[in-house]
Every structure is written in C-alpha cells, then in structure tokens.
Amino acid sequence: MFRRVGIGICGLLAAFLLSPSPVAADEMETRYAKVVYADEALLRTFNEEVALGGGLFSLGQRPQQVTMQDEVRNKLNNIVEKVMAALEMYPKRLRFTLMLLPDAKEVQRIYRENFGKEVKYIAFYSPKHKTMYLSIRDVELRVIAHEIGHVVVDHYFDVPPPVKIHEVLAQFAETHIGD
C-alpha cells in the first residue's frame, strides 16, 4: 500500500517537474510588480541586459549591500515610473505580474494556450491576467517600456481604449522612455 502511494507521489512529482508550462521557482516583489522566474539565471540575465542611465540610487542613499534582487527591483520601478511620466498617466493602483521566460518560443506557447493564435511575439501583456510575459533571450529596454506602456494604459482607464489607441500609447512609451 505505502509502496503504491510512494510511486504515485513520485509520478505526480515527475509530471509536475517535466511540465512544459513555466514553473515558478521563485518570485520577488517590487513597488508595482510581482516578478516570477523559474531560476535565478533568468533574473540575472534580466539584470545584466537592462541598463538605465543616471544610476539606480541617484535619488536616495545607496544601501551598503546591493543584491541582484535590489538592482532588479529598482530598475523595474524606475522603468514603470519613466513610462508613467512619458504617458502622463499615473494610475492609482498599478499592480501586475512580470513572468520572466527563457525565450520567445515560451512566450509564444503561452500566448497560443491563452488566446488560440500563433504569434511571433517576444513579449506581451495580458490585461485579463494583469500579467506581462517577457523573453529574457530578447530582453531590451524598449520592449519592456512598450509592454509596461500597455500595463499603465490598462490600469489608467476604467474603460479600455480601442486596441489601436492602446498600441499607439505603448509605442509612444517605447520611444520616449529616455526623455
């Protein structure tokens, strides 16, 4: 009896670990987002690839020890705030999940599962799930700013604007992130 239960539990565990969907191994909180990632290498790559000018702690005192999570937290908060400033939109309760995924194929798989369409996206934001999905292999500041533009627009309006207007505002955020 115990042997069958043990085998069953091992089988379930193996199925869970071998599942093609992203299994979050860890997460961290920022002022605006919950960042979910399967392994620390994804978070490290995000941190290395996303560069902001002016220093992360230019507005405050630099902590004595800065962890990678501190750097990611500050970068993401700064990007969200720069996008809000570029759009001149400051939602009262902006909160979203950022899923860091290894590559575009994983982003596309999740899109296909959720929306039943084949796309070539490297990132997308789902207003329904309040979640941004991002390929770490393709991570760039402009891509993050574009998707956060969608996040800000989604949280700002009570009634969402038409899709084309949503896209124009996200493109504006992408091109004006450095202004």
Let me know if residue 28 belongs to a domain.
yes
Model pLDDT for residues 70-121, shown as the tens digit of each residue: 999 999 999 999 999 999 999 999 999 999 999 999 999 999 999 999 999 9
Residue type (1 letter), 172: F
Let me know if residue 66 belongs to a domain.
yes
Number of domains in the chain: 1
Could you give the residue ranges of the DSSP H alpha helices within 20-124? 40-49, 68-87, 104-115
Model pLDDT for residues 125-154, shown as the tens digit of each residue: 999 999 999 999 999 999 999 999 999 999
Q: Does residue 113 contact residue 101 with C-beta atoms inside 8 Å?
A: no
Mean pLDDT of 31-39: 96
Let me know if residue 14 belongs to a domain.
no
pTM (global) more than 0.85: no
Let me know if residue 12 belongs to a domain.
no
Let me know if residue 6 belongs to a domain.
no
Let me know if residue 10 belongs to a domain.
no
The CATH number assigned to the domain holding 153 equals 3.40.30
